[in-house]
């Protein structure tokens, strides 16, 4: 199914640009066709104008030949004129009449003969007078006769001895002009009209009904080449002038036909847009589904890798803890069997004490992978710290790998979590050892960096650059940017890939960063940039500690064994001790016994947490010294800042006493703090021996 979605996605993605291009090309093609139609209208107007000009020129030429012939020598014989006129009319049947008029405008000869009632004067005197003035042939404007019929005259002069003696005229019916227009092949659905010099219709579509009318009665100009006919039809037109005349011809195509291409283009674009939108939606949906499928697949693979890595991690932790439990199991049984053997008991207790230290180290290393805060950070002298843990660092390597440590005495102190630093160095050395299966060398060096941006733009201010470099096989450039990703590993054995993730988390929690450089086949260098420490940790003398220890302490813990362990740790150092198993019980005891001047509370408790209890008591009893203790807290590991000392379980007696002494001098004013939950005022108190008091 995934392959089908991928194929459809590729097909849709390939069709989209083709569809868009086809739409654009279609629009351009139709636009070109419309521009071609405009040119066709102009060309037809010119063709019709030329055809009409040629026809009228032919008539003028034919009349001129007759006017120059001896048959029309004055005085003209009626019989001779009638014979000549009959022959002319046989050649041009569209002529209604052929006339000879004198210079005064009187019609002297006519064929066919005029009726008795017909006027004997020229009607179109303007063209008649113009010919007499110019001596050149003329085509008259459209005029209406006595019976209302319209016509126009083609006139030529009859010259004798260089002077105009008379005028020969041929009267044309407008329908003759319309017939000439139709003979040019103008389509029936096209419209035309011809106007004379006085802007009157000579002939038009539907002629002779419109002959003699004002052109505005036939067609009203809208804008540019757009005209509205008297019947409501809108035309797209073009105009051409007739050479030698003051006449004009206009040819037009109905806007419905003219706009058909534009409508087709619009429909095409709308259809293409809809198809594009639908196709884009389908492509987007397919892409989204494919992305979700790939994301789910990637998450499934990541979860599997995570579970596999966590399985290996917890398996190793379980192995180490089982070894520690074996130490405690043997110690407990040995002490029970030989309680009176002080030497044997001391040896077993030492073994159990060493196991306790190792157990704390294991839990701290496990927690370091989830830690997002810099809780537990302190000012460290890097030279002293490296010397202190150098035996542990050498244990992370093997006999085939040599180590060189170069941390100058002038290296600035850093503000970091000591345990996190130790784990980060061990992880780096472990990676270096695995990259040098055939042996090699590792160097640990430190240098002060005045401007962190020189080393890495992500680092700001004064930093200390701690570098671990090896001579191993190196990392490929394609993998270098991913080596800090969780569960990403380039190890041949498919290791969990969590070491460098812890290093990055430690550096960022400390306010620094990490950068890696590598040359394939020559080695890798990992540099941790850590902020310079500006303060030194406070120190308290033993005498000062005794003076600062509170007289009455309330211990709160929901685990009875932990509660009793804390009581035993303070027994003999604190005059009065009260015990409570819940936050509500602790509030009731604190309200009852006002002599309580310090509280030691577990963080993770049902109902009311230790942090909520501390905030509530700090508001009602600002004089109380508060110390929190925990094995793990989501809120603290997320980076929550608390104003009270926090002890990590398990802790030694000295750690608890130091925390109590420190809390005496750091009592924040929380009278205006709103508690996280509603605290009750009920509970019970226990005396130091565990009974109720």
Strands 248-254 and 191-195: antiparallel
Strands 440-449 and 401-406: parallel
CA pair distance 651, 629, nearest whole angstrom: 9
Residue 37: pLDDT band (50, 70, 90) is: confident
> How large is the average pLDDT for residues 555-568?
87
Classify domain 542-664 by CATH architecture.
Answer: 3-Layer(aba) Sandwich (3.40)
Lowest average pLDDT, out of 39-43, 125-129, 506-510, 626-630, goes to 506-510
Q: Check pLDDT > 60 for residue 489.
A: yes
Q: Check pLDDT > 50 for residue 221.
A: yes
Q: Which of 333, 386, 174, 140 is nearest to 245 (CA)?
A: 140
CA pair distance 602, 581, nearest whole angstrom: 10
> How large is the average pLDDT for residues 514-520?
85
| Fold (topology level) of 371-531 | Heat Shock Protein 90 (3.30.565)
Lowest average pLDDT, out of 115-129, 350-364, 531-545, 597-611, goes to 531-545
CA pair distance 34, 38, nearest whole angstrom: 6
Q: Is the backbone of residue 582 left (phi > 0), alpha (psi -120 to 50) or beta?
A: beta
Q: Which of 242, 182, 224 is nearest to 38 (CA)?
A: 224
Q: Which of 442, 443, 462, 441 is nearest to 451 (CA)?
A: 462
Lowest average pLDDT, out of 250-264, 649-663, 677-691, goes to 677-691
Using CB atoms within 10 Å of the CB of residue 122, give its burial: 0 to 12 exposed, 13 to 18 middle, 19+ buried: buried
Q: Check pLDDT > 60 for residue 666.
A: no
Q: How many helices (H) and strands (E) does the chain have?
A: 19, 24
For residue 596, give the DSSP letter. -
pLDDT at 604: 87
pLDDT at 84: 85
- pLDDT, tens digit (0-9, with 9 covering 90-100), for 327-358: 777 777 778 777 777 777 788 778 777 777 77
pLDDT at 453: 47
Q: Which of 479, 196, 510 is nearest to 382 (CA)?
A: 510
Residue 671: pLDDT band (50, 70, 90) is: very low
pLDDT at 539: 47
Confirm if 530 and 462 have CB atoms less than 8 A apart. Answer: no
pLDDT at 644: 83
Lowest average pLDDT, out of 154-158, 188-192, 262-266, goes to 262-266
Q: 199 phi and psi, to 5 degrees? A: 60, 35
- pLDDT, tens digit (0-9, with 9 covering 90-100), for 85-109: 888 888 888 888 898 989 888 888 8
Q: Check pLDDT > 70 for residue 115.
A: yes
Confirm if 463 and 529 have CB atoms less than 8 A apart. Answer: yes
Q: In Å, how far are 56, 324, 328, 532, 650 from 346, measured between CA atoms?
A: 141, 17, 13, 43, 21
pLDDT at 578: 92
CA pair distance 530, 535, nearest whole angstrom: 15
pLDDT at 156: 92
| pLDDT top residue among 590 and 206 | 590
Decide: helix, strand or coil at residue 245. coil
Residue that is written with structure tokens 């290296």 in the block: 411
Kindly state which CATH superfamily the domain 1-258 is placed in.
PAS domain (3.30.450.20)
Q: Check pLDDT > 80 for residue 197.
A: yes
Q: Which of 409, 510, 428, 516 is nearest to 463 (CA)?
A: 510
Question: Rounded to the nearest 10 degrees, what angle do helices 260-337 and 342-368 cross at?
Answer: 180
> How large is the average pLDDT for residues 10-21?
63
Confirm if 463 and 477 have CB atoms less than 8 A apart. Answer: no
Q: Check pLDDT > 80 for residue 574.
A: yes
Q: Which of 615, 562, 607 is nearest to 599 (CA)?
A: 615
H or E stretch including 514?
strand 513-519
Q: Check pLDDT > 80 for residue 560.
A: yes
Q: List the alpha helices (DSSP H) in 396-517.
A: 418-435, 452-455, 477-480, 499-509
pLDDT at 498: 57
Residue 556: pLDDT band (50, 70, 90) is: very high
Q: Check pLDDT > 50 for residue 684.
A: no
Those residues with Cβ within 8 angstroms of residue 234's Cβ, 6 or more apart along the chain or in another chain: 222, 226, 227, 228, 254, 255, 256
Q: How many CB atoms lie within 10 A of CB 284?
A: 12
Q: How many alpha carbons lie under 13 Å from residue 401 in its C-beta half-sphere?
A: 24
Residue that is written with structure tokens 């005495």 in the block: 409
Residue-wise over 354-392: b if at least 16 C-beta within 10 A, else e? ebeeebbebbbbbbbbebebbbebbebbbbebbeebeee
Question: Percentage of residues in the chain with pLDDT exceeding 90?
Answer: 6
Output the average pLDDT for the chain: 77
Residue 555: pLDDT band (50, 70, 90) is: very high
Q: Which of 470, 431, 469, 430 is nearest to 447 (CA)?
A: 469
Q: In Å, how far are 87, 531, 572 from 417, measured between CA atoms?
A: 128, 12, 32
pLDDT at 157: 93
pLDDT at 631: 76
Q: Which of 113, 116, 117 is nearest to 100 (CA)?
A: 113
């Amino acid at each position: 199914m995934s392959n089908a979605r991928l194929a459809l996605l590729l097909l849709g993605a390939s069709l989209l640009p083709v569809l868009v291009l086809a739409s654009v090309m279609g629009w351009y093609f139709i636009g070109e066709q419309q521009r071609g139609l405009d040119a066709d209208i102009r060309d037809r107007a010119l063709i019709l104008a030329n055809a009409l000009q040629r026809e009228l020129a032919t008539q003028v030429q034919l009349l001129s030949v007759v006017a120059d012939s001896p048959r029309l020598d004055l005085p003209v014989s009626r019989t001779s004129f009638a014979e000549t006129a009959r022959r002319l009319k046989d050649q041009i049947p569209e002529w209604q009449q052929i006339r000879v008029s004198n210079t005064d405008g009187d019609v002297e000869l006519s064929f066919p003969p005029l009726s008795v009632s017909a006027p004997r004067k020229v009607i179109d005197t303007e063209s008649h007078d113009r010919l007499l003035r110019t001596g050149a042939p003329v085509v008259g404007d459209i005029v209406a006769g006595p019976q209302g019929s319209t016509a126009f005259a083609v006139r030529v002069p009859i010259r004798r001895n260089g002077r105009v003696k008379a005028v020969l005229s041929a009267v044309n019916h407008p329908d003759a002009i319309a017939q000439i227009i139709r003979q040019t092949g103008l389509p029936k659905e096209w419209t035309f009209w011809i106007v004379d010099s006085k802007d009157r219709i000579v002939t038009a579509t539907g002629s002779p009904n419109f002959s003699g009318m004002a052109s505005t009665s036939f067609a009203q100009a809208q804008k540019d080449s757009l005209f509205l006919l008297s019947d409501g039809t809108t035309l797209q037109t073009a105009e051409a002038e007739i050479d030698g005349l003051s006449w004009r011809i206009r040819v037009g195509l109905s806007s419905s036909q003219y706009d058909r291409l534009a409508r087709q283009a619009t429909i095409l674009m709308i259809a293409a847009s809809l198809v594009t939108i639908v196709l884009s939606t389908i492509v987007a949906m397919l892409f989204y589904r494919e992305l979700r499928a790939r994301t789910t697949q990637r998450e499934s693979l990541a979860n599997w890798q995570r579970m596999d890595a966590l399985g290996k991690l917890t398996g190793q932790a379980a192995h180490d803890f089982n070894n520690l439990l074996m130490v405690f199991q043997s110690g407990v049984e040995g002490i029970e069997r030989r309680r009176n053997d002080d030497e044997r008991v001391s040896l077993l207790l030492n073994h159990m004490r060493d196991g306790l230290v190792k157990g704390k180290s294991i839990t701290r290393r496990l927690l370091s992978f989830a830690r997002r805060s810099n809780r537990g950070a302190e000012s460290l002298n890097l030279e002293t710290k490296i010397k202190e843990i150098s035996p542990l660092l050498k244990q992370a390597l093997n006999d085939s790998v040599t180590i060189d440590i170069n941390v100058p005495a002038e290296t600035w102190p850093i503000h970091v979590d000591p345990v996190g630093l130790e784990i980060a160095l061990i992880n780096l050395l472990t990676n270096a050892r695995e990259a040098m299966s055939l042996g090699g060398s590792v160097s640990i060096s430190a240098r002060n960096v005045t401007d962190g941006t020189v080393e890495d733009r992500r680092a700001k201010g004064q930093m200390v650059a701690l570098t671990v470099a090896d001579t191993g096989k190196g990392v490929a450039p394609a993998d270098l940017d991913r080596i800090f990703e969780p569960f990403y590993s380039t190890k041949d054995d498919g290791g969990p890939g969590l070491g460098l993730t812890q290093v990055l988390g430690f550096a960022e929690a400390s306010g620094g960063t990490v950068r890696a450089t590598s040359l394939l086949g020559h080695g890798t260098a990992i540099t941790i940039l850590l902020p310079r420490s500006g303060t030194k940790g406070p120190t308290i003398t033993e005498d000062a500690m005794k003076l600062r220890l509170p007289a009455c302490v309330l211990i709160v813990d929901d685990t009875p064994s932990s509660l009793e362990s804390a009581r035993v740790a303070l027994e003999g150092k604190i005059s009065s001790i009260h015990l409570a198993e819940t936050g509500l019980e602790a509030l009731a005891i604190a309200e009852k016994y006002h002599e309580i001047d310090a509280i030691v509370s577990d963080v993770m408790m049902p109902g009311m947490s230790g942090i909520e209890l501390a905030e509530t008591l700090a508001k009602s009893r600002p004089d109380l010294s508060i110390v929190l203790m925990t094995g793990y807290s989501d809120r603290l590991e997320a980076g929550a800042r608390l104003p009270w000392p926090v002890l990590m379980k398990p802790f030694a007696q000295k750690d608890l006493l130091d925390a109590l002494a420190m809390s005496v001098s750091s009592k924040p004013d929380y009278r205006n703090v709103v508690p996280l939950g509603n605290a009750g005022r009920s509970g019970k108190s226990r005396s130091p021996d565990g009974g109720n008091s």
